[in-house]
Chains A and B, each alone.
Chain A
């Protein structure tokens, strides 16, 4: 059998989850991390939030080539234009593949896609600079070049009020403490990338080579480690003061888009949907999209101001009686509800169907 790339298996996995109810391009949007309500909603409905924005640079043509390959291998079969379902052979291949190449348990693209980028930039620069400080060397090339980042580090080091030795020792302890508890990934995957005094870290492709891994498989494990660290640092801030200070300023609810966040603020100040649309000079549809996004991401967000309880009940019943998640089928059962109302209730139900 032909060897499949890791990425093609991820795409097969996603196709399996969406089960022909969306086009293949919805997967592109998901992996690219497109911030549209549709993509965000799909990620939640189909339990694919962990992959959100994990391949931001994936191109349309690359996806199409992989889809073609999967088709030729008989793993997927066309259902209608741009939609596929996974064949029984494909399902079997999937479960075999992920048995030996499991997806990291802590991968959470939806929650951490932005934070992980910042965290890695800061962590890698901090480790390098602290290592050089510790070795009393001031002549080296910083591996991160952005001036903003350098300024951040300067403040960071200044505010910690620790000596060079204390800083290095404590950062070492925190990194070991944070990484040694992970059971499904090898911390070397991350540690090999770090640069310090007279030790230069590896690039992504070099590291993948050394682990004899497909570069995309390596990338997912690397992200898995970063997400694991963020989760642990976030829940046990007191155990990891140095690490948690690295992201202290970035913790605003990152799961909402900027625009939805503003809509939420206006809602909480008591404005109606129409008023918000008018004030922000946006279409009402757009504001409704924001609301769906908010309902998806904020637990206990009360939607009864927009859909009365009675209608909510009816819609929920309809959702449970259809097998498909296509809005059209649900609406056939609740003709007096509009699409916005159905989407809101679906969103509030989130992933617990």
Chain B
């Protein structure tokens, strides 16, 4: 059967998107494969369809929790029940049960910290793994923003599993990142499929405003005039909520906030309302968007600048999946870079927190022996988040032959290094927003990923010149909810196919 027929059979699509067919063919021919496909082009389909056509389970290492949740949900929505995700959401009972029937799953997702578990490794060794996938592979590079020491184990883990057929997937990787991914996985021979990160149908614009007030006014204006649906990204939950209320006050009725701090039930409802065009605008944090397959998003506005160009590309990549003209707009007011610097620091343990943990271990000598069981205690005393704690724990358990103090010194060095990388990333983002003198924004973002701009595009970017009116709404943006509501008719619409008398 031809690949297209399998695509139809398993996913009910009629055609592949850019790169998918090449990548899948490479895997099915038994080649280790490194693939760089731009956001919004269906990367996960590459391992999903390959998985169905190979014998045995697919193991996917997925670095971001929310992404893993979205991908398992997507598979289940597609009718696949043989899916399991090993991450911190799983209770130990659920985990043990899943491990005892591991051979019944087709898709096994692992978060990076699971690479530490010998128990999981040993159970996986008993399986004939058909495909080993590293999703968002740029994360495993030290040059990547989200690098965590857990990833260093990836190469050993893969070797222990007998070097199974491997696929490394990413949307955005610079040359040095790509090389590091390949060497850390220990690949000797592999096929590479690199596609441009460019999305020519998305116009790029940065607007500089003088103050916070101007920015907020401009946002209201943009949302009122641009053709929707659209997403506005914020770096803070509070701001996302505040601006959603503001937009409503100015007459945009079908707008809601979305962030990780909301109740699960509400999050699902709002996400689904947006998908079903019951909402026009979402004021969101980066928690929104992963795995959302909405084709007709016409604009993505950034109220705060992201912490790196890679994230920026991912987030604006949610626009225009249908291939139609869309716009990405970043609003910048002087001093905006302070927030990313603060956020970056907050992601790592502070010096004070480290000193506190060190003193705690000094004063309670037996604590370090029981650390694995008492980690919650230490975490809550020191106020470390789960990811921060994992860093600390990793350094404490590694190099156990060295004195504790020395391990802490090493950890501090590591954190300093991480901070440098993160600051560098923010700086690159900042420079990109300020390119008034250096020309085309598309050219600059492509240069960052070592690509050349090869085609001329209408409405390319604010530097080349954009006709913003192209993106203006043709209809009235003040759509309001239906005023007349008949509850029996509504219930009939939900439960009965045709209305009865």
Q: Is the CB of A134 within 8 A of B488?
A: no
Our pick among B269, B481, B485, B495 for the contact of A130 (Cβ within 8 Å) is B495
Name the B residues within 8 Å of A139 (CB-CB).
77-79
What's the nearest-Cβ distance from chain A to residue B254, in Å? 10
Name the A residues within 8 Å of B270 (CB-CB).
203
Q: Quick one: given A175-B491, A176-B488, A210-B481, are A195 and B272 in contact (CB under 8 Å)?
A: yes
Our pick among A176, A198, A203 for the contact of B269 (Cβ within 8 Å) is A203
Name the A residues within 8 Å of B73 (CB-CB).
141
Q: How far is the CA of A210 from the CA of B276 in the complex (A)?
A: 19
Q: Is the CB of B268 within 8 A of A172?
A: no
For the residues of B in contact with A, the DSSP-based class is helix
Q: Quick one: given A130-B495, A187-B487, A199-B494, are A143 and B79 in contact (CB under 8 Å)?
A: no
A5 CB-CB contact with B under 8 Å: no
- Residues 213-232 of A at the B interface (beta carbon under 8 Å): none
B492 CB-CB contact with A under 8 Å: yes
What's the nearest-Cβ distance from chain B to residue A104, in Å? 17
- Residues 259-315 of B at the A interface (beta carbon under 8 Å): 264-266, 268-273, 276, 278
Name the A residues within 8 Å of B116 (CB-CB).
none
Our pick among B276, B485, B496 for the contact of A168 (Cβ within 8 Å) is B496
Interface size class of B (residues with CB under 8 A): 20 to 34
What's the nearest-Cβ distance from chain B to residue A119, in Å? 15
Q: Is the CB of A200 within 8 A of B495?
A: no
* Binary per-residue interface labels of chain A (136-165) against chain B in the complex, 1 for a CB within 8 Å, 0 otherwise: 001111011100000000000000000000
A171 CB-CB contact with B under 8 Å: yes
Q: Quick one: given A200-B269, A200-B272, A203-B269, are A145 and B491 in contact (CB under 8 Å)?
A: no
Q: Is the CB of B78 within 8 A of A135?
A: no
Q: Is the CB of B269 within 8 A of A195?
A: yes
How many contacting A-B pairs (Cβ < 8 A)? 82
Q: How far is the CA of A206 from the CA of B79 in the complex (A)?
A: 31
Name the A residues within 8 Å of B276 (CB-CB).
198-200
Q: How far is the CA of A200 from the CA of B490 in the complex (A)?
A: 12
B455 CB-CB contact with A under 8 Å: no
- Residues 448-501 of B at the A interface (beta carbon under 8 Å): 481, 485, 487-488, 490-497
Q: Is the CB of A199 within 8 A of B491?
A: no
Q: How many residues of A contact B (CB 8 A)?
A: 38
Name the A residues within 8 Å of B271 (CB-CB).
141
Q: How far is the CA of A175 from the CA of B79 in the complex (A)?
A: 30
B256 CB-CB contact with A under 8 Å: yes
Our pick among B256, B265, B492, B494 for the contact of A206 (Cβ within 8 Å) is B256
Name the B residues within 8 Å of A199 (CB-CB).
276, 490, 493-494
A37 CB-CB contact with B under 8 Å: no
Name the B residues within 8 Å of A196 (CB-CB).
493-495
Name the B residues within 8 Å of A175 (CB-CB).
491, 495
Considering only CB atoms, which chain A residue lies closest to B94 in the complex? Answer: A147
What's the nearest-Cβ distance from chain A to residue B181, in Å? 32
| New contact pairs (16) apart from A172-B492, A172-B495, A203-B266, CB-CB < 8 Å | A127-B494, A127-B495, A134-B495, A141-B271, A143-B268, A175-B491, A175-B495, A176-B488, A188-B487, A194-B491, A195-B494, A197-B494, A199-B276, A200-B273, A203-B269, A210-B481
Give 28 A-B contacts (CB < 8 Å), ordered by A residue: A127-B495, A131-B494, A131-B495, A134-B496, A134-B497, A135-B497, A139-B77, A141-B77, A143-B269, A168-B495, A169-B495, A172-B495, A176-B488, A176-B491, A180-B488, A186-B487, A188-B490, A192-B487, A194-B491, A195-B272, A195-B494, A196-B493, A196-B495, A200-B273, A200-B276, A203-B266, A203-B269, A210-B481
Residues of chain A having any CB pair with chain B under 8 Å: 127, 130-131, 134-135, 138-141, 143-145, 168-169, 171-172, 175-176, 179-180, 186-188, 191-192, 194-204, 206, 210
